[in-house]
A and B are shown apart, each in its own frame.
Chain A
């Protein structure tokens, strides 16, 4: 095998998972555009932004094994950061008197505003992470929830900066399916690179066995903090994109409903893999849309069927319970998209005997 060819195979092997996920999302956008449904564009855009959010949560929760209920707080921080950057200066001068001059007097384009969202989300996550990475297990998860409550209270009452309980308006609503697809693709690539890096490896080791990881020289607190910062930046960016999709911000948008739906997406899809995060968003979105359509009523063979109001929430709950009963590890069960390329180091690693199956759980050798 020539060097060029083996390098190409190595690249394809490494790029397979993110490429397959981006291709799947692209297919969804193309199909939805072709169908040309009226509300389709909005639903698809919202779904793709949720892909970014759930991937952001996954970067920390999936790799470290610590569930976070606080990430929508970073999304809130990112969304308002984008709002500060992108709102009409006249309105800002009137309503947001507490803003510093560089925000109050200027209006920044969407990419700049979203960069600011990612930066602020990342900084907030790093600072808060210094506190929560001292905790572990359920205590850390509860602390993340406390963070969500704090962010919500501060942003709902900080009138001169966030417009408090009245809405922040006038953000250019420039984000549609294609822009959000671009951000979803960036999130997928960033999350995948993090996962296959040494940081990702050590974090997953600490997730499996923290004691043994420490004995392997792994500085668990530092790694959790890095992951928390990266994950806060991704979710912050998602907030910035969401602000440019909604055009109007209220703090209620970034609270319990969004927290629970995104966590449900991650867990149903499978918290153990990037593919699980993406599949979870697609699956739950599909279920919600189908139930919503049924609530509105459909005509099958001349008979009109409409589910009672509330069927959407009940149906979603029942379905989630069923998935967790039959697949507690989520739909993907910790696996990535099956790869057509043999795993790393094929020649030498594959030379040995075929490992016999125990529980059928080992990675099947590809020849």
Chain B
């Protein structure tokens, strides 16, 4: 377990975003180019929910939802409150076992796996409420994931510092996580999920409650993740302007069902989306 992916991951970490072939001007690379450039050690596998439903004592939280996250893309997941977005993310990360349907990682059926097995298989997440380890330092928070994935303490500390550095919170490494300001807390949570880069990163409203400028700054990082780490990102976000700018594809949930999927432009024109989410006006 210790040596698994170590070399590849280190190489991945230090690969620079700017080493894309010249001529690729688009800051959001196509899914395939990112995958090929940065993660040739891993087969191109999708993370997919296939027809999953979750019922809480007969009450359906989500019904027969299909969703596929591809490596190298930022997939937006939007929908009104109570649409089932977090429940879907819980299913995709092992925190909620679907009542029906399957979760697939490539060809592998990972339905019913525990959260730590999901993370070890390369599916990471953040939580809406942050859920940092409050009595531990920022550095220890991030180290925990690296150690949990088999790194030595020394290697874990180094990789954790790199992740904190990239997210601009390295200065707070020795502070207790419980006293961080809100915006830094979100960044530490992302660093904790990103250390020992996963193949998929699911972000549950990372910018909730932030001002527009704070939100833009954070989403700047999110947009860089696929190119830098070669992973696929699923982003739950309420701010429509942000979603439209960040995501190459968007899935819309309403009342526990998937009502639309497509490019931001296409989704915006769907009548169902307009009435359900964007409002008539």
Binding site for B on A (CB under 8 A): 196-198, 201-202, 204-205, 207-209, 211-220, 272, 334, 343-345, 348-349, 351-353, 355, 358-359, 361-363, 365
Contacts and interface: CB of A to CB of B under 8 A. Distances in A.
Contacts of A363: 137, 174-176
A301 B263 CA distance: 91
Given A219-B116, A363-B137, A212 B176 contact: no
A207 B140 CA distance: 13
Given A213-B133, A215-B93, A201 B174 contact: no
Interface in B154-193: 156-157, 161, 170-176, 178-179, 181, 192-193
Nearest 8 interchain pairs by C-beta:
A352-B171, A217-B148, A208-B133, A214-B115, A198-B147, A216-B145, A212-B131, A217-B119
Nearest to A342: B174
Nearest to B126: A215
B136 interface: yes
B132 A218 contact: no
Contacts of B127: 211-212, 215
A155 B192 CA distance: 48
A349 B173 contact: yes
B40 interface: no
15 contacts: A201-B147, A202-B144, A209-B131, A209-B133, A211-B95, A214-B116, A215-B93, A218-B116, A345-B173, A351-B171, A352-B172, A355-B172, A361-B179, A363-B176, A365-B174
B5 interface: no
B169 to A, nearest CB: 10
A348 B161 contact: yes
A352 B176 contact: no
B144 A216 contact: yes
B55 interface: no
Given A211-B95, A215-B115, A197 B137 contact: no
Given A208-B133, A214-B114, A217-B149, A201 B144 contact: yes
Nearest to B123: A215
B132 A209 contact: yes
Given A204-B133, A345-B161, A359-B179, A215 B173 contact: no
B135 interface: yes
A216 B157 contact: no
B38 interface: no
B125 to A, nearest CB: 6
Nearest to A346: B174
Nearest to A198: B147
Given A204-B135, A209-B131, A198 B157 contact: no
B180 to A, nearest CB: 8
A198 B156 contact: yes
Contacts of B137: 363
B135 A216 contact: no
Contacts of B148: 202, 205, 213, 216-219
B142 to A, nearest CB: 9
B120 interface: yes
B170 A349 contact: yes
Contact of A211 (B115, B134, B152): B115
Contact of A217 (B120, B139, B171, B178): B120
A208 B132 CA distance: 8
B47 interface: no
A198 B145 CA distance: 10
Given A208-B132, A218-B116, 9 more contacts: A214-B115, A215-B93, A217-B148, A345-B157, A349-B170, A352-B171, A355-B171, A355-B174, A365-B174
Contacts of B193: 215
Nearest to B179: A358
Contacts of A272: 135
A112 to B, nearest CB: 34
